[in-house]
Structures are given as structure tokens and as C-alpha cells.
Amino acid sequence: MNMKKLAMLVSATALTLSVSAGAMAKDNIALVVSTLNNPFFVSMKDGAQKKADELGYNLIVLDSQNNPAKELGNVQDLTVRGAKLLLINPTDSDAVGNAVMLANKANIPVVTLDRAANKGTVLSHVASDNVAGGKMAGDFIAKKLGDSARIIQLEGISGTSAARERGEGFKQSMAAHPFTLLASQPADFDRTKGLNVMQNLLTAHPDVQAVFAQNDEMALGAMRALQTAGKKDVLIVGFDGTNDGLKAVKSGRLGATIAQQPELIGSKGVEVADKILKGEKVEVNNPVELKLIAE
């Protein structure tokens, strides 16, 4: 009789421990980042991690290294790792469609961050208003230099929604202010490429008065090229509000940056994921406020 009671007690204890372990288990959500070789996306990842910890999720972070093939491989990996939801910051708005559709096929809900996806089913998008930011940059240049300013634009990665939308906003500003656009060329959101492209463009356009770079990394590269060429009076406007960008504005080396809040984009992304997993309604678009930071 005593042995029977003991067996029942052991069985009940095991069941309690099993339920407790299940209750403590964290759901996996995944964040696939275009590149962690960019301070902006590192900040976005940090914001997502902090919010995931706060809400009790296990966040799996994978780096696509700006390679759509790597991005697709990352999502394939996640389909077998038990991810309940996918947060993805696309390398390219068109190419990411294959990864999104793969997640759709695996019944994993998808939320995009900073850059949109042009294919597949995405439940929600979290990003700054890039069009408004591009226009803000152009309007600032007009305010500083007038409507006849001679400008070079450094574009981001072709095919990304961020590059397209920031360029569209800048184009809207140009419609209101008849600038002379000397050149507009991609430098892929990269500091070294920003330096190299700016050096090449300076040879053809030594009379440039202002540069609009579609992110701070390219702006900092352009700044170095202009400093080396002895052109300290050229107005440079960046985009993102990274720590390095903000320091350069504060020191007077950059004229301004259109500051996004990457940590907030990451944090909001996880908040949206939490609502989706709880079956709550979410907005299709979740805008994050922009600020113009000038010297």
C-alpha cells in the first residue's frame, strides 16, 4: 500500500515538473538581418533583443551578410529550428520574396523591418517614413544653400525599398527646389564605397556644393573623400542617425542627418510579433518617427 502511494506521489511530482518546464519554455522568434556589418542594423538587433528578453521570447538572430542567397539559406534553416515567427530585414526588396514565400509555405508568420518585401505574404511592416526623410534632406539643403545648389546624391543598395523611397522623397524636394543634380550613383550603404564613389565623382564634378547620402555610412565615406580633396565647405547630409553620424554632426563635419530610431524599429518589431502570436490584430504599417539632427 505504501509503495503504491509512493509510486503515485512520484508520478504526480514528475507531471508537475513536466508542466512547469513547459510553462517556462520560451517560444523561438527569429530575426534575419541584412548585415551586422552596419551600426544601424546592430542597433536594430539590440532593440529587438531587449524587447524579446522583456516579453519572454528566445530570439534567434541570423546575419545574411548582404547576400540574398545567404538570406534564403537562413530562412530555410529557421523552418526546421522551430521559429514561431520571422522578423526579416531584407537584403533586397525583390530577392527577399523567395525567403518570405518559403516562410509562408512553412506557416511561419512574417514581419518586415526597415525594408519592405515586394513578394510573399507579410503581416506587418515596421519602418521609418523614408519618403518623408528624403524630402526632409532636400528641403534642408535648400534652406542652407538656396534653390540653385549643385548636388551629388549617393544612393543605397539598388532594389531596396529604403533606397528607392529615400530617392523618391529627395526627388519630391527637387520638384519644389530646382537644384542642379550633378550625379546620382549607388554606393550600397557602405562607408568604403561611399569614399570611393565620391572620389570618382569629384573628378568630374569639382564644383559640387552639397551631398545627400542615403545613409550615414556613405555620408562618412563622402566626408573623408571631400576632406582629402581639401573641400571643407561642401554640405553633407546623411540618413539614419547612427552614433558615428551624430558625432560627425556634433563636431561640424556633417551638416545634418535624418535620424531614424533603429532600436525602436527592432523593439516595435518584437512587440508586433508578440501581438500576432497572441492572435491580436496588428497594423499593416507601423511608422517610426524621424528627426532632422543638424549642427
pLDDT at residue number 159: 86
pLDDT in tens, the chain (295 residues): 455 555 555 454 444 444 343 334 589 999 999 999 998 999 999 999 999 999 999 999 999 999 999 999 999 999 999 899 999 999 999 999 999 999 999 999 999 999 999 999 999 999 999 999 999 999 999 999 999 999 999 999 998 989 999 999 999 999 999 899 999 999 999 999 999 999 999 999 999 999 999 999 999 999 999 999 999 899 999 999 999 999 999 999 999 999 989 999 999 999 999 999 999 999 999 999 899 999 7
Q: For the chain, give me the number of helices (H) and strands (E)?
A: 10, 12
Cβ pair 227, 236 in contact under 8 A: no
- Nearest C-alpha neighbor of 254 from the set 263, 269, 264, 244: 244
Strand partners for 61: 31
Q: Which three cell numbers stand for residue 283?
A: 497594423
pLDDT at residue number 11: 53
pTM: 0.75
Q: How many CB atoms lie within 10 A of CB 282?
A: 17
Cβ pair 91, 34 in contact under 8 A: yes
Among the residues of 177-284, which ranges form H helices?
191-204, 216-228, 243-250, 262-277
Question: Judging by beta carbons within 10 Å of its beta carbon (0-12, 13-18, 19+), is residue 80 exposed, middle or buried?
Answer: exposed
H or E segment to which residue 198 belongs = helix 191-204
Q: How many CB atoms lie within 10 A of CB 176?
A: 12
Phi, psi angles (nearest 5°) of residue 235: -80, 125
pLDDT at residue number 3: 55
Q: How many CA atoms lie within 13 A of 13 on its CB side?
A: 6
User: What does DSSP say about strands 235-240 and 210-213: parallel, antiparallel, or unpaired?
Assistant: parallel
Q: Give the C-alpha separation, 131 to 174, whole Å.
A: 13
Q: What contacts 5, CB < 8 A, 6 or more positions away?
A: none
Instruction: Tell me the Cα Rg of the chain.
Output: 23
Q: Give the C-alpha separation, 144 to 255, whole Å.
A: 10
Cβ pair 170, 153 in contact under 8 A: yes
Cβ pair 113, 130 in contact under 8 A: no
Q: What domains lie within the chain, and their CATH numbers?
A: 27-126+264-284 (3.40.50.2300), 130-259 (3.40.50.2300)
For residue 57, what are the CA distances in angstroms to 84, 103, 113? 10, 19, 18
Cβ pair 254, 222 in contact under 8 A: no
